[in-house]
Amino acid sequence: MNYRNPELRDKLAAEYVLGTLHGRARARFERLMQQDRQLRDDVADWQTRMMPLADSLAPIKPRGRVWRDIRSSLGFDTVSRRSFLFWRNLGVFSSAAAILMAVYISTASLHTSAHDYIAIIADKHAKPIWLFSSNDTVISIKSLVPSTVIAGRSLELWLLPDGGQPVSLGLLPLNGNKTRLLPHAVAKLMANSHALAVSLEPAGGSPTGQPTGPILYQAPMAASA
């Protein structure tokens, strides 16, 4: 079948949303959709047209067991234990980190003004990988251990403002240091942010301005002033 024909593509998108595309044709279409942004847009347009049909239904409350089953099948209860362990481990390594930070701040402050915000991005064993610091005008990222990323991908750093959408802080260096100017609009968000995240993105960064790939790391951010 010639999937380049725009009319055929639109017809398939419509039948996919309607539900009449079946079996192997449906599976093939879903695979195509993953690689084809235009096709995803066509599907989204059809969803927007047809979904009011679904919305005219009166809401029906599911029984309480549904939410309990969702939580347990996602392992939330064990995850929260794991995250407790993460923070406990963080406590063990934090004295080392504190020394590292103190040394870093004292040497850095010889050259520049004091940094206002600091974060250490660590792996799941609480081993520090990047040191992030920023003041009102500059972001500085230091790679503490060389990292690798699969070909054709980049690691992107995000600021997570409280109650807002993630804001890109640019790509992470895989080794060495990187310093860049902090846009004024982003600098203003720093005061309301307490965390950073790192996502895996296509080379050069997210095409949408929001994280598109899996989140690989998260780190709390502290004001150092």
Partner 1 sequence: MTQSPDADAVLAHLLTRCALKDQAAFAQLYKLTASKLMAVSLRILQRRDWAEDVLQESFVNIWHHAQDYQVQKAAPLTWMTHIVRNRALDWLRRPQHETALDEEEMENRWADPAAGLFEQLSRVREGAALEECMRQIEAKNRQAIVLAFWQGLTHSELAQHMQQPVGTIKAWIRRGLAVIKKCFEVTHELS
Per-residue tokens: 113: 């003004």
CB of 133 to partner 1, least distance (A): 22
Angle at 122 between CA 163 and CA 132, to 5 degrees: 65
| Piece in contact with partner 1 (CB under 8 A), picked from 53-61, 110-118, 131-139, 182-190 | 53-61
Alpha-carbon span 140 to 110, nearest angstrom: 15
Alpha-carbon span 35 to 93, nearest angstrom: 42
Q: In the window 7-26, what residues touch partner 1 (CB under 8 A)? A: 10-11, 14-15, 17-20, 22
CB of 71 to partner 1, least distance (A): 9
Query: Among residues 69, 85, 87, 181, which is the contact residue for partner 1, using CB under 8 A?
Result: 69
SS3 137: coil
Using rule CB under 8 A, residue 76 touches partner 1: yes
Tokens 């992030």, residue located: 132
Using rule CB under 8 A, residue 123 touches partner 1: no
Using rule CB under 8 A, residue 55 touches partner 1: yes
Query: Among residues 3, 38, 41, 204, which is the contact residue for partner 1, using CB under 8 A?
Result: 41
Q: CB of 155 within 8 A of CB of 196?
A: no
Q: CB of 202 within 8 A of CB of 155?
A: no
Alpha-carbon span 11 to 1, nearest angstrom: 13
Query: Among residues 8, 31, 49, 175, which is the contact residue for partner 1, using CB under 8 A?
Result: 49
What are the phi and psi torsion angles at 2 (to 5°)? -90, 100
Residues that bind partner 1 (CB under 8 A): 10-11, 14-15, 17-20, 22, 40-41, 44-45, 47-63, 65-67, 69-70, 73-74, 76, 79-80, 160, 163-166, 197, 199, 208, 210-215, 218
